Structure 1
Amino acid sequence: MPNASSLFAAIFLAVIAFVVSGQIIPLFPEGKDFGLFTPLNMALGLVIGWKTMGPRAGRGMTAGITNGITGTALLVFWGLFVQGCYEMVRLAMRNRYDGPFEAIIAIFEIGYEFAVMMAQPNILLTLFIGAVVAGALTEHISRIWR
């Protein structure tokens, strides 16, 4: 059901996705084409904020902060999975895999490589602070607009 907390949770997670995507891009080799990297991550933030964080708002500030951390963790998980799928398809189009099972396993290997690359202190700090702020603000907004 549409409400203000769902809308703002979606916006907050999209902003977190935008900022973190901007921090991740310099970690890759120069000249890499990112295509829809940032917009796709922002779209994931919108969907996760709307479907996960918004409906859970209104249960207190502690639960709100936990809600923000959960939403951000889901954003990271689905972001790694979707970007791993995208990279696997890109490599599959270049005939890098011998069969479909090798390609499916590659999704998780690529996601793991991206997670290791992403495990920088500044990115983790941005994710944590963004999660706490997004959760607290979503909770505050749910109190204002019931």
Structure 2
Amino acid sequence: MPTMGRLIEAILFGALAWYTTTLIAPLFPEGTNLGYFHEVNTVFGLIAGWSIAGPRAGTGYVAAFSYGLTALVAMVVMALFFNSFVVMIGQSLLKRYDGPGEAVTDVFALFVEHAAMIMTPQILATLLIGGFVGGLITEFFGRRFS
């Protein structure tokens, strides 16, 4: 059921995903076609905010840190996995793999590679602060409008 907590958390995590993606985009090599990178990551932010953190709004400000961080980790894992999967599909269409097992294994290698790429202090701080603040704001609205 739609609640104010779900709506606010979806908007906040969507915005956090969009902003973080703008910080990540320059880390890719020059000339990399990012396609719908911003939009896809924003959708994962919306999903994480709506389905993970939003339903927990109204459970207390201490819990807000927990569900803000949980939604943040879920958003990052979903985005990393999906984007790694898309890169693998592109490489498999170029026949870079000897078989499907190698392609599936490479998804996880790409996941780790992309995760290492975004491990900069600016991006980590943005994500952590955004997750905690998003949880607190959601808790505020969840208590007021539930």
Q: Which amino acid aligns with 1:85?
A: F
For residue 66 of structure 1, report the CA deviation from its aligned partner: 1.1
What does 1:88-107 correspond to in 2, within 5 Å? 88-107=88-107
Q: Secondary structure at the match of 1:106?
A: helix
Amino acid at match of 2:9: A
* Aligned residue pairs, count: 146
Aligned equivalents of 1:4 and 1:125: distance in 2? 27
Q: What letter matches 2:69 in structure 1?
A: I
Query: Which residue of the partner structure matches residue 48 of structure 2?
Result: 48
The Cα shift of 1:57 comes to: 1.1
2:126 maps to a residue whose letter is T
What's the TM-score once normalised by structure 2's chain length? 0.98
Across the aligned residues of Structure 1 and Structure 2, the Cα RMSD in angstroms comes to 0.6
| Separation in 2, partners of 1:7, 1:92 | 38
> What amino acid is aligned across from residue 95 of structure 1 in structure 2?
K
Residue of structure 2 equivalent to 1:116 = 116
Runs of 4+ in 1 over 2 A off after TM superposition: none
| Identical-residue share of aligned pairs (%) | 38
| Unmatched tracts of structure 1, length 5 or more | none
Q: What is the CA–CA distance in structure 2 between the aligned matches of 1:16 and 1:138, rounded to whole Å?
A: 14
Distance 2:50 2:126 in 1: 21
Q: Could you list the per-position Cα deviations for residues 89-113 of structure 1 after superposition, in whole angstroms to 9, with x for gaps in the alignment?
A: 0111100111111111111000100
Question: Which digits, 9 at most, give the CA deviation of each residue in 1:51-102, with x for residues without a partner?
Answer: 1111111110010111111101111111110000010001111001111111
Structure 1 length as normaliser, TM-score?
0.98
Counterpart position of 2:65 = 65
